[in-house]
Structure 1
Amino acid sequence: MSRLHIDSVTKSFGSKKILQDIYLSCETGKITGLLGRNGEGKSTLLQIIFGTVKGDTQFIRFDHSILNTLFDRKNRITYLPQQSFLPKNTKVKSLISLFCDKKNAEELFSLVLIQPFLNETAKNLSHGEKRLIEILLVIYSNSDFSLLDEPFYGLSPKFIEEVKFLIQQQSKRKGFIISDLQYHYVLSISNDIYLLSDTHLKLIKDDKELQFLKYLPSS
């Protein structure tokens, strides 16, 4: 089991503070949900963990190794951004070997879900199809942890259920941190839930606490 430890993260843009004294922990074998309203800083936090944004202060550790650069995160953390990242003219089957080791690539090639798209390029796919391919590449990527930012946005209900199942299957070997405004999907598969609100992150015990904090409506 490996652990990803995030501590003392702060971030401001100009005079506006986005994140303050953030602590977050995730282990391989677990799915961690990150909730929060739009604009609270969830994407910024994921980008800091991945290494493409620098916090004003931050301490990020993988097991006993402190992660300072993108190179430190190689094969340890992969990231699904909200923006599409597929090259327009590369076939899907060629992208698999870039993200996956041999074992994971074989698993991904065998998925019925991806087989209709293997010989397609991104320019010939719909938005939902591109998003599906991006999610699958990151889920099966050669890393110990995957960060998923809005993975369910733009997917059909059928794809969402299949993706949820695959995330749960892959969580047996890696850890996930998932953020999505469609909170019910995140809640349904997460082992731990954190709520980001007013620059602070709080570990949530149950749905009642989310209701008390006015993130969920009272039942």
Structure 2
Amino acid sequence: MNHLHIDSVSKSYDTKVILSDVYMSCKKGETVGLIGRNGSGKSTLLKIVFGIEKADFKFVRVGENIIKSVKYGRGLINYLPQDNFLPNNVSVKYLIHLFLEKAHREAVLENEYIQPLLKKQNQQLSGCEKRIVEIFLMAHSNADFVLLDEPFNGLSPIIKTYAIEYINGLKSSKGFIITDHDYENVIQLADRIMYLQNGFLKSIQDLKELVTLGYMSEGVYEQVSSFQQS
């Protein structure tokens, strides 16, 4: 089984250290949640792993394949950025045919949320509609590992719940690394939680640790714990 190994990632801007010797991993069938305060470097880390952001040093490997840049990761790693990335003036149906291999198209073309959008062009979609299309394209890409950077941004509560359940249903065939400003979304999806602070990445074994680290209040911890148990 392929594993995504991320090792010794370091990144600085001028004299400010963003990432310091970061290590993390993900295997197919697993969702890893990446949380941390705004500006902690979560998006930077995902961009480095995907290959669109330079690092001072990095080692990224999928199975036996060393990922030096985007071209080395084709078919292995895909990345959903925070901002919408689909081109305008083309229909959603065309985008699905453009981005997905034939074997993966049917599931998207026949989806109840996508079907009403097929004839629309990207610029005619609402922010919520654009995001759900992008999530489907990433989730059904042929990549073994998908990096989701704030995937639920702009989604309505109903669509957000649907997207979380949908991603969970695809876990058996892919590995996901997900970050979101709303940590409850991440906690719902993640099998493991990693916390990024001051350039260092820490594995969270118990959510109570996030209270100690000052990321979560005691009251919020109790609410999240109640949610997990329900």
TM-score, normalised with respect to structure 2: 0.93
Per mean C-alpha deviation after superposition, the further-off stretch among 178-187 and 61-70 is 61-70
In structure 1, the residue matched to 2:205 is 205
Q: Say whether the 8 Å CA contact 2:50–2:69 is kept in structure 1.
A: no
In structure 2, the residue matched to 1:82 is 82
Q: What 5-or-longer segments of structure 2 have no aligned partner?
A: 220-230
Q: Say whether the 8 Å CA contact 1:99–1:142 is kept in structure 2.
A: no
Q: Deviations over 1:131-152 (max 9, x none)?
A: 1111111111111011000011
* Whole-Å separation in 2 of the counterparts to 1:40 and 1:98: 34
SS at match of 1:96: helix
Q: How far is 1:99 from its partner?
A: 2.4
* Whole-Å separation in 2 of the counterparts to 1:214 and 1:100: 42
Q: Say whether the 8 Å CA contact 1:10–1:22 is kept in structure 2.
A: yes
1:153 aligns with 2:153: yes
SS at match of 1:86: coil
In structure 1, the residue matched to 2:227 is none
Q: What 5-or-longer segments of structure 1 have no aligned partner?
A: none
**For residues 128-147 of structure 1, what are the structure 2 equivalents within 5 Å?**
128-147=128-147
1:20 corresponds to which letter in structure 2?
S
Q: How far is 1:191 from its partner?
A: 0.5
* Whole-Å separation in 1 of the counterparts to 2:129 and 2:112: 14
- Structure having the higher helix fraction is 2
In structure 2, the residue matched to 1:109 is 109
In structure 2, the residue matched to 1:49 is 49
Calculate the aligned-residue CA RMSD, in Å. Answer: 0.9
SS at match of 2:211: helix
1:160 corresponds to which letter in structure 2?
K
**For residues 1-219 of structure 1, what are the structure 2 equivalents within 5 Å?**
1-219=1-219
* Whole-Å separation in 1 of the counterparts to 2:72 and 2:121: 31
Q: Say whether the 8 Å CA contact 1:99–1:140 is kept in structure 2.
A: no
2:6 corresponds to which letter in structure 1?
I
2:92 corresponds to which letter in structure 1?
V
Identity %: 46
Q: Say whether the 8 Å CA contact 2:18–2:199 is kept in structure 1.
A: yes
Q: Deviations over 1:143-169 (max 9, x none)?
A: 101100001111000110110011011
Structure 1: 4+ residue segments shifted above 4 A: none
Q: Say whether the 8 Å CA contact 2:51–2:70 is kept in structure 1.
A: yes
Q: Say whether the 8 Å CA contact 1:6–1:60 is kept in structure 2.
A: yes
Q: Deviations over 1:77-119 (max 9, x none)?
A: 1111011111111111111123222222111112111111111
Number of residue pairs the alignment of both structures matches: 219
* Whole-Å separation in 2 of the counterparts to 1:118 and 1:203: 41
Q: Say whether the 8 Å CA contact 1:9–1:55 is kept in structure 2.
A: yes
